[in-house]
Amino acid sequence: MQEVARAVRERLAPLLRGKRFVVLTGAGISTESGIPDYRGPGTRRRARHPIRFQEYVASSEGRARYWARSMLGWERFSRARPNAGHLALAALEQDGHVSGIVTQNVDRLHHAAGSVRVVELHGALAEVQCLDCGAMEPRARLQERLAALNPSLLSSEAALAPDGDADLPEARLAGFEVAGCGACGGTLKPHVVFFGESVARHVVEQAYALVEGSDALLVVGSSLAVFSGFRFVKRAHELGMPIAIANLGETRGDALATLRIDERAGAVLPALSELLCTGPAVQPGKSARDARECERVV
Q: Which of 122, 191, 202, 237 is catalytic?
A: 122
Contact predicate 38/27, CB 8 Å: yes
Contact 238, 232 (CB under 8 A): no
Bridge partner list, 244 = 218, 259
> How distant, in Å, are the alpha carbons of 106, 132, 138, 140, 186 from that of 182?
23, 12, 11, 13, 8
Integer Cα distance of 193 and 276 in angstroms: 35
CA atoms in the 13 A half-sphere facing the CB of 277: 26
Helix (H) / strand (E) element for 230: namely helix 227-238
202 assigned to active site? no
d(C-alpha 247, C-alpha 262), whole Å: 5
Active site residues: 122
